[in-house]
Structure 1
Amino acid sequence: MSVSDAIPSDVFSAKLSIGASLVLATHNANKITALREALRNVPVEILTAKEFDLESPAETGSTVLENALIKARVVAQQSGHPAISDDSGFCISALDDLPGAAAIDWAGPNENYNIAIERIGEMLAERNIVSSPARFVTCIALALPDGTAIAEQGATAGNLVWPPRGATEGYLSVFALSGEAETLAVKMAGQSAGETHRIAAYRHRQPATLRLIDRVRFEG
């Protein structure tokens, strides 16, 4: 059975009931901060995968939805508690939505995004393209230990900018918000992009998390 076969048709409409605790299925400090911030009014104890000494599962999905579900399901099963996770990607329409869920993989094992930007340039040149709609996407998933899961997706739309402008911070040097000419890298010059949930490219992340939580009944 493939990951996509295991995704229920109502993953975007069903509701779940959970008890008194929820595990953050990530070891990424930035994502932990973002999820804690979004969940600050939720009446459950917030735990982390690190507290259960769990390793991050392999992200073998081809979409951010599949990867988010993989992480939430594995951590929920191993911890015995409901788990919430997210996965993000960068999609360039003219490149068939690549790199998509492989956005980090394109940067190589050392997360050198100059490599990823060069790859984009090569693909644009092959197709004789200099501009395209683009978007940052995120999927938030919540799973129970038995594998039942729900999810929400969000996106921030914009346009690919080529050649790159500004410091290489992820894909911010080749992305401008819709209706704007300057890349986010240029607009953020001198600012840290470390806390991605606070930058405009990921402004959709918290609303997506809150939409997910609206579909959860807390019984603890």
Structure 2
Amino acid sequence: MTHRTLSAGRLVAATHNKGKVRELKDLFEPLGLEVVSAIDLDLPEPEETENSFTGNALLKARAAAEKTGAPALSDDSGLSVTLLDGAPGIYSARWAGEPRDFGVAMARVEQELQAAGNSDRSAKFVCALAVVWPDGHEEVFEGEVHGELVWPPRGDKGFGYDPIFVADGEVMTFGEMDPDRKHAMSHRADAFSKLKAALLS
């Protein structure tokens, strides 16, 4: 596939998750892109009906590009726990309920690990970054970071499941880690490095 250069200018972040918006701004704005979120533009949040991170990322980016007439970026990401057969996976946010309470979601993960025997605490974060242009051109990049889950949660610097995830080779959770350090190794950073090489070189 021929990649398309993502030119400097406005990029719509098709997410209503303020933590993700903050991370996407940190990644893209130093490269001359003005990241405007779906929250800023009061865009509706489409229902995630696909069965994969890539499918849901494309769904959200397509909706934002169509509504705004600008290139749109969507991140669909989540926690995949080995002992839980990949759950919560694409349902990671939904495990937190409405309004989203990730304290509840993290407790549910721990409860299910205990119920499953707690013999394997390995997990990974997965991220699919989709960029969709108003003319329909689409590109998707996937990234992962592997690690293990700890309990109780530690740290308040991240969001989502960050306080229970320790990346391989680290001792701090993503919730305890300085954001710049997390950005350098996260699943989102992995996907972003692939996107950057393809679209921003």
Matching residue within 4, 8, 11 for 1:22 = 11
CA shift at 1:91, angstroms? 0.8
Q: 1:97 aligns with which of 81, 86, 102?
A: 86
Inter-CA distance 59–179: structure 2 relative to 1 (3 Å threshold) = same
- Counterpart position of 2:75: 86
1:151-179, Cα deviation, whole Å (9 max, x unpaired): 11112210123x43536863344322224
Larger relative CO (CA 8 A, sep 6+): 1 or 2? 1
* Residue of structure 2 in register with 1:175 after alignment: 165
Instruction: List alignment gaps of at least 5 residues for structure 2.
Output: none
Q: Which residue of 2 aligns with 1:164?
A: 152
Matching residue of 1:71: 60
Residue 194 of structure 2 is matched in structure 1 by 211
State the TM-score, normalized to the length of structure 2.
0.78
Larger Rg: 1
Residue 135 (structure 1) aligned with residue 118 (structure 2):
no
Quote the sequence identity (%).
31
Flag as ranges the 4+ runs of structure 1 deviating above 6 A: none
TM-score by length of 1: 0.72
Q: Hey, what's the Cα distance between the residues in 1 that align with 2:34 and 2:105?
A: 38
Q: Distance in 2 between matches of 1:50 and 1:110?
A: 16
Q: Counterpart of 2:88 in 1: which secondary structure?
A: strand
CA RMSD of aligned residues (A): 3.2
Question: Does 166-175 or 122-131 show the bigger shift?
Answer: 166-175
- 2:106 & 2:74 partners in 1: Cα distance? 27
Go from structure 1 to structure 2 and tell me whether the alpha carbon gap of 1:98 and 1:183 turns closer, same or farther (over 3 Å shift): farther
Give the whole-Å Cα distance in 2 for the aligned partners of 1:46 and 1:167.
Answer: 27
Q: Is the 8 A contact 2:144 2:190 kept in 1?
A: no
